[in-house]
A = this chain, B = another copy of it.
Amino acid sequence: MKKHVLSSLGLFLLLLSVINHSYAEDGYRLWLRYDQVQDPAKLKAYRQAIQEVVVPGNSPTLSVAQQELKMGLSGLLGKPVPVSQKPSQRNTLVAGTPASSALIKDLGLGDKLKTVGDEGYLLLTANKKGKKYTVIAANTDIGVLYGSYHFLRLLQTQQDISKLSLASAPKTKHRVLNHWDNLDRTVERGYAGFSLWDWHKLPTYIDQRYIDYARANASIGINGTVLTNVNANALVLTEEYLKKVKALADAFRPYGLKVYLTARFSAPIEIGGLETADPLDPKVQAWWKKKSDEIYSYIPDFGGFLVKANSEGQPGPQNYGRSHADGANMLADAVAPHGGIVMWRAFVYSNEEPEDRAKQAYNEFKPLDGQFRDNVMVQVKNGAIDFQPREPFHPLFGAMPKTPIMMEFQITQEYLGQATNLVYLAPMWEEVLDEDTYAEGEGSTVAKVIDGTLNGHRLTGMAGVANIGTDRNWTGHQFGQANWYAFGRMAWNPYLSSEEIAEEWIKMTFSNQEELVEKLEDMMLNSHETLVNYMTPLGLHHIMGWSHHYGPGPWIKDKHRADWTSVYYHRADEKGIGFDRTKTGSNAVAQYFPPVAEKYGNVEKTPEKYLLWFHHLPWDYKVKSGRTLWDEMALRYQGGVDSVRQMQQTWNALEGKIDPERFKHVQTFLEIQEQEAEWWRDAVLLYFQTFSKRPLPEGVEKPEHTLEYYMQLDPKFVPGI
């Protein structure tokens, strides 16, 4: 029988490809592909080790774990794997908690289980009474589910499972996606179609995609989702919409995914009929308390609020002469009785133009350290400007020891080529997490700020601005999936390397075939540096197109505030280029702890990747290569283009080894990326050449058009606006 099924499978896979092209591999399955293990030895070992699945208990979360194991293993092993109520075979997979599974209780894992807490799990091999058990054990149902995905991942990546002894627990508590999704289904900075949330048909219609979304998040340990844009609409807090939010929360709950909302600070006025939103006004406080009670009456495990206040036109406590702490604390008090939290964004800059925008968040928030309630986290972007292709770490990390600081990464590629550029972001995130703040002496890395170990915080978290939309492949670019994946994995463990995450993802998403893994890994790991080179090498920043941030726009000037222009940031003139943030300039470097301030304050010690971020330098400044700054810059732009072409070669050589629809998709997107890289190189170099007055060095291709041509380009309807 077994043999027959096997041959059927092979035959049918062949048939399937002929019969129905609508079932093509289009990326919808993400990394949760459970196709049969290709290595015959591994397959045999797995089949022997797992003859049945036992997941006692019937809670919604355990049911999901059971279904996932059954489906996943049946696919990976290429034959239906039976589910039993209790072990009946010699080799059984058992998943559960001491409460749900007698076998797991009997294993006496008490001490070991203590170490993995509320969301962690153990993966073990155990022998008992002549039988062999593969065990997924946890203290909670969600721990079991997380462990189940981990176990499946071991098979997807063809690991040895014969002697498992593995423990895993998340290093941060709140691993949260931020959806900048509007109620009209547009997505701010969304490049993968439109919002998944079909508000009009909620609460009655539950799209299958909501379930698949929750499942994908659970598989990488993401446990929270902020449904709405930080540029918030109070309407979502009305009864009509709360019923819709409840329907989503109910759909997500089995997957351990909590729902959060953005709180529009002026909601008490807009939907509450009050005349003020002053956080110290008792009526306002009462309104938020009542509103929170109402929310929790629908959603007992509601996560809490994310707030963007007094930034880019959003209302906030400063409208009433109050501080960010006053605003955050009022909301925190409203949700505290229900166990909710407030995530208060530090991405602020006043309506008055600051001397250096990079300094403002620090200046505003540092003095508030110690003033926030226990259930408030301050959410800080990785850098002090705004999700640039590369930024030095934000000086707030380490600077507020009494306040839990939450990391905000941007998974959606607002400034990094949007949907069409292949950029694996994990190396950029890793770069930031690894940086040493020196806040408590050497070794005070950003990662330690985030996981709470540096200052002993138990409230910890990481937020990622989602890159997910209605596009069939979820993220617009097939490789955008890797960034969603990497965010979840790094939020679980900020010490994972971008390399190991890439390897996992490639094996799960494409294939375990060695050469393919190696080539794709190489391509992914170099992709961020590649983009930085053709967009903003050597510390350049914020020189992209106006408003939509698409394409180059170093010539942008004369807008209603200087710090929304490009010339404000690059400061190019006939003498040189770069933003002097040392003592002779804005002295932003002084916001860092002394060892860092000294490094960035000294042009010799500053890493070249941040050179023009901190220093204004002459065009003929000699960089480490011995070249002039101008020549080096030009060659970096060219190098970026060359690297994209290298990526194309790598990819094209994989034809036939990757399913055709995804192959073609990425191939075409790489063509677009090449066009855009050339556009960046040509436009930026032509523009800066008007200052440098120097020829392009040898090896740099001649621009296809004139500077005037590039300046008159005016892309319309760039998605994400």
Interface residues of A (CB under 8 A from B): 4-5, 7-9, 11-12, 15-16, 18-24, 26, 28-29, 32, 34, 70-71, 74-75, 79-80, 183-185, 193-194, 199-201, 204-206, 208-209, 212, 235, 419-420, 470, 472, 661, 665, 668-669, 671-672, 675, 716-719
A420 contacts which of B15, B185, B201 (Cβ < 8 Å)?
B201
Closest beta carbon of chain B to A238's beta carbon, Å? 9
With the chains together, A235 CA to B209 CA distance in Å?
34
Instruction: Check B716 against A235 for contact (C-beta < 8 Å).
Output: yes
Looking across the interface, which residue of chain B has its beta carbon closest to that of A36? B19
Instruction: Check B204 against A671 for contact (C-beta < 8 Å).
Output: yes
A194 contacts which of B16, B74, B193, B208 (Cβ < 8 Å)?
B193
> 4 smallest A-B Cβ distances: which pairs?
A12-B12, A8-B8, A19-B75, A184-B717
20 pairs of residues in contact across A and B, judged by CB atoms under 8 Å? A7-B8, A8-B11, A9-B12, A15-B79, A15-B80, A19-B74, A20-B29, A20-B71, A20-B75, A22-B29, A22-B212, A183-B716, A185-B194, A185-B717, A199-B717, A204-B668, A205-B672, A209-B472, A235-B716, A472-B472
A718 contacts which of B15, B26, B200, B470 (Cβ < 8 Å)?
B200
Given A200-B718, A470-B470, A716-B183, the answer on whether A669 and B15 have CB atoms closer than 8 Å is no
With the chains together, A34 CA to B22 CA distance in Å?
11
Instruction: Check A26 against B70 for contact (C-beta < 8 Å).
Output: no
Closest beta carbon of chain B to A374's beta carbon, Å? 36
Looking across the interface, which residue of chain B has its beta carbon closest to that of A10? B8
Number of copies of this protein chain within its complex: 2
Looking across the interface, which residue of chain B has its beta carbon closest to that of A30? B22
Contacts of A719 in B (CB 8 A): 185, 200
With the chains together, A212 CA to B71 CA distance in Å?
29
Instruction: Check B34 against A28 for contact (C-beta < 8 Å).
Output: no
Looking across the interface, which residue of chain B has its beta carbon closest to that of A76? B19
Instruction: Check A470 against B193 for contact (C-beta < 8 Å).
Output: yes
Contacts of A669 in B (CB 8 A): 205
A74 contacts which of B18, B193, B200, B419 (Cβ < 8 Å)?
B18
Residue with the greatest number of chain B CB neighbours at <10 A, chosen from A74, A193, A205, A719: A205
Closest beta carbon of chain B to A504's beta carbon, Å? 20
A717 contacts which of B15, B183, B208 (Cβ < 8 Å)?
B183
Contacts of A717 in B (CB 8 A): 183-185, 199-200
With the chains together, A184 CA to B206 CA distance in Å?
27
Instruction: Check B19 against A71 for contact (C-beta < 8 Å).
Output: yes
Instruction: Check A5 against B15 for contact (C-beta < 8 Å).
Output: yes
Given A11-B12, A24-B208, A472-B472, 13 additional A-B pairs, CB 8 A: A7-B8, A8-B8, A8-B11, A8-B15, A15-B80, A18-B70, A20-B29, A20-B34, A184-B717, A199-B717, A204-B671, A205-B665, A205-B669
Contacts of A470 in B (CB 8 A): 193-194, 470
With the chains together, A716 CA to B200 CA distance in Å?
8
With the chains together, A79 CA to B11 CA distance in Å?
11
With the chains together, A306 CA to B65 CA distance in Å?
54
With the chains together, A235 CA to B714 CA distance in Å?
12
Closest beta carbon of chain B to A668's beta carbon, Å? 5
Given A185-B719, A470-B194, the answer on whether A201 and B419 have CB atoms closer than 8 Å is yes
Closest beta carbon of chain B to A80's beta carbon, Å? 6
With the chains together, A208 CA to B25 CA distance in Å?
11
Looking across the interface, which residue of chain B has its beta carbon closest to that of A669? B205
Instruction: Check B71 against A21 for contact (C-beta < 8 Å).
Output: yes
Looking across the interface, which residue of chain B has its beta carbon closest to that of A206? B668
Contacts of A24 in B (CB 8 A): 208
Contacts of A665 in B (CB 8 A): 205
Instruction: Check B11 against A34 for contact (C-beta < 8 Å).
Output: no
Contacts of A206 in B (CB 8 A): 668
Contacts of A80 in B (CB 8 A): 15, 18
Instruction: Check A28 against B19 for contact (C-beta < 8 Å).
Output: no
Instruction: Check A15 against B19 for contact (C-beta < 8 Å).
Output: no
Looking across the interface, which residue of chain B has its beta carbon closest to that of A7? B8
Looking across the interface, which residue of chain B has its beta carbon closest to that of A418? B200
Instruction: Check B8 against A12 for contact (C-beta < 8 Å).
Output: yes
Instruction: Check B19 against A34 for contact (C-beta < 8 Å).
Output: yes
Instruction: Check B672 against A201 for contact (C-beta < 8 Å).
Output: yes
Residue with the greatest number of chain B CB neighbours at <10 A, chosen from A12, A29, A420: A12
Instruction: Check A675 against B204 for contact (C-beta < 8 Å).
Output: yes
With the chains together, A21 CA to B675 CA distance in Å?
38
Residue with the greatest number of chain B CB neighbours at <10 A, chosen from A4, A11, A16: A11
Closest beta carbon of chain B to A453's beta carbon, Å? 39
With the chains together, A719 CA to B470 CA distance in Å?
15
Closest beta carbon of chain B to A359's beta carbon, Å? 35
Closest beta carbon of chain B to A111's beta carbon, Å? 38
With the chains together, A201 CA to B199 CA distance in Å?
27
Looking across the interface, which residue of chain B has its beta carbon closest to that of A193? B470
Closest beta carbon of chain B to A11's beta carbon, Å? 5
Given A8-B8, A200-B718, A235-B716, the answer on whether A208 and B71 have CB atoms closer than 8 Å is no
Contacts of A8 in B (CB 8 A): 7-8, 11-12, 15
Contacts of A21 in B (CB 8 A): 71
With the chains together, A4 CA to B3 CA distance in Å?
13
With the chains together, A183 CA to B212 CA distance in Å?
30
With the chains together, A199 CA to B719 CA distance in Å?
9
Instruction: Check A205 against B668 for contact (C-beta < 8 Å).
Output: yes
With the chains together, A75 CA to B209 CA distance in Å?
27
With the chains together, A436 CA to B360 CA distance in Å?
75
With the chains together, A80 CA to B716 CA distance in Å?
47
Given A193-B470, A419-B201, the answer on whether A9 and B15 have CB atoms closer than 8 Å is yes
Closest beta carbon of chain B to A127's beta carbon, Å? 29
Contacts of A235 in B (CB 8 A): 716
Closest beta carbon of chain B to A113's beta carbon, Å? 31
Instruction: Check A74 against B15 for contact (C-beta < 8 Å).
Output: yes
With the chains together, A74 CA to B669 CA distance in Å?
33
Contacts of A28 in B (CB 8 A): 22
Looking across the interface, which residue of chain B has its beta carbon closest to that of A713? B240
With the chains together, A199 CA to B12 CA distance in Å?
38
Looking across the interface, which residue of chain B has its beta carbon closest to that of A80? B18
With the chains together, A23 CA to B716 CA distance in Å?
36
Closest beta carbon of chain B to A81's beta carbon, Å? 9
Instruction: Check A204 against B74 for contact (C-beta < 8 Å).
Output: no
Contacts of A32 in B (CB 8 A): 22
With the chains together, A661 CA to B9 CA distance in Å?
24
A23 contacts which of B23, B212, B671, B672 (Cβ < 8 Å)?
B23
Closest beta carbon of chain B to A632's beta carbon, Å? 31
